[in-house]
Amino acid sequence: MSHNPGPSTSVSEAIATRRSIRAYTDRPVDPALLRAILEKAQRSPSGGNVQPWMVSVVTGASLAALIAKVGERQAMGIMGLQPEYQIYPEPLADPWMARRYGVAHAMYAALGIAREDRDARAKAMAANFTGFGAPVVLFVHCPKFMGPPQWADMGIWLQSVMLLLREAGLDSCPQEAWSVYGKTVRDHLGLDDEQIIYSGLAIGWRDTDAPVNNFPVDRAPLNEVVSWHE
């Protein structure tokens, strides 16, 4: 059931073919191509044109070193955690919780992992901290004093980058998981504690055959999220 969508030639196609890619080939990403994409993404809108996103691109030896450092924190178990922010509200009620579980169950099913196999699930989760084998992981961060509107701006920027990557035939996976080792990431990037790590973005060439890249991820029907007022 492998699927190689190739480069997208319209925004609709880029949106339709983007999915979170959690397995990559060894093919490197041309730094000039990535620079051109980030240059284009600078046209992203932001409230007041504040452009709060700050970006650190990590590849090669630097990425390997970061993965090793985060690996050391992971080995410490819960003592190693350094969460930048709470990723999900607690408790998270339905329908949101059901959606969150829905994609997790679909992914574990694609990987052949049984619901009760906690070790295998933890291992699949830990793949986040290798960037899923992508040759590039970028981090989007901003000063800590920025508020929800500026965080939304960072999300808009991320989507611009993800769609431009699709236009170039590349793929990605946004990764807020890195924020649970925020201080290690910040120290590695030479950022002070006044910055906050919002999300990573793994970038590379899609391994089209990997089951983890081929399970269906549904969306709520429009009438669950849109109301029309005349």
Ligand X SMILES: Cc1cc2nc3c(=O)[nH]c(=O)nc-3n(C[C@H](O)[C@H](O)[C@H](O)COP(=O)(O)O)c2cc1C
Residue ranges that bind ligand X, judged by CB under 6 A: 19-20, 22, 103, 128, 173-177, 199, 217
Give whichever of 191 and 201 is closer to ligand X, judged by the CB atom: 201
Q: Are 27 and 33 in contact (CB under 8 A)?
A: no
Considering beta carbons, is residue 30 or 105 the nearer one to ligand X? 105
Burial of 61 (0-12, 13-18, 19+ CB in 10 A): exposed
Instruction: Please say which residue, 37 or 202, places its beta carbon nearer to ligand X.
Output: 202
- 173 vs 196, which CB is nearer to ligand X? 173
Least gap, CB of 13 to ligand X (angstroms): 15
- Mapped onto helix, strand or coil, the DSSP state of residue 149 is helix
User: Residue 95: is the preceding peptide bond cis (ω within 30°)?
Assistant: yes
User: Number of C-alpha atoms within 13 angstroms, CB side, residue 201?
Assistant: 26
CB 152 to ligand X: min, Å: 11
Write down the least CB distance from residue 177 to ligand X, Å.
Answer: 3
- The nearest distance, CB 27 to ligand X, in angstroms, is 21
Residue closer to ligand X by CB (options 112, 192) is: 112
Q: Which residue is nearest to ligand X (CB)?
A: 177
CA dist 19 and 23 (Å) reads 12
| Smallest separation (angstroms) from ligand X to the CB of 140 | 9
Burial annotation 194-219 (CB, 10 A radius, 16+ → b, else e): ebbbbbbbbbbbbbbebbbbebeeee
In the sheet that holds 136-143, the strands lie side by side as: 54-59, 136-143, 195-204, 171-175
